[in-house]
Amino acid sequence: MAQHVKILGALHIALAAFGILAAVIVFVVLGGISGLIHMGGIDAGSDAEMAAPVIAFIGTAVTALILVLSIPGLIVGFGLLRFRPWARVAGIVVSGLDLLHIPFGTVIGIYGLWVLLQPQTEALFAQPPYPGYQPAPYSPPAPPRAGGPTV
């Protein structure tokens, strides 16, 4: 299962990279169109003058949405490659969201859910992050002093 987790991590990174590339393209194209409208010497009060800020806003909003959906996949992909304990649960969430990215994300989402919900995978992520790892012992906070804090 370790090989499947590494493949899934690479697939999440690749899908996120394509998402980030798409965000950059949307930003450049719609920002460029807005800029060309402004540079074109438009008449005051024309439809083009009113459309340019709308196009810029839509481009920024779509870019932000694509980045918000892509960056978690990138983070989870690197976490899965390094078998970080948090990456399994986050990978399940990201794989569930990938199901909406038809067609490639759907395939990666199904594969990701299959890989990450296997009992062998759960055991993989339960191991310590590296040999000799010892978590810090928990010590409860000291009780407050009688009479309140002194400054």
Alpha-carbon gap, residue 101 to 90, rounded angstroms = 17
Residue 49: pLDDT over 80: no
Flag whether 136 is in a domain.
no
Residue 149: pLDDT over 70: no
Flag whether 13 is in a domain.
yes
Which residues span the domain enclosing 117?
2-126
Alpha-carbon gap, residue 114 to 121, rounded angstroms = 10
Note the pLDDT of residue 54.
87
Provide the number of structural domains found in the chain: 1
Alpha-carbon gap, residue 114 to 55, rounded angstroms = 41
Residue 47: pLDDT over 90: no
Flag whether 111 is in a domain.
yes
Flag whether 138 is in a domain.
no
Note the pLDDT of residue 140.
75
Flag whether 10 is in a domain.
yes
Residue range 142-151: mean pLDDT, rounded: 67
Flag whether 72 is in a domain.
yes
Flag whether 132 is in a domain.
no
Flag whether 62 is in a domain.
yes
- pLDDT tens-digit profile of 97-137? 989 888 988 999 999 999 999 888 888 887 665 566 666 67
Residues with Cβ within 8 Å of 107's Cβ and at least 6 positions away in sequence, in order, are: none
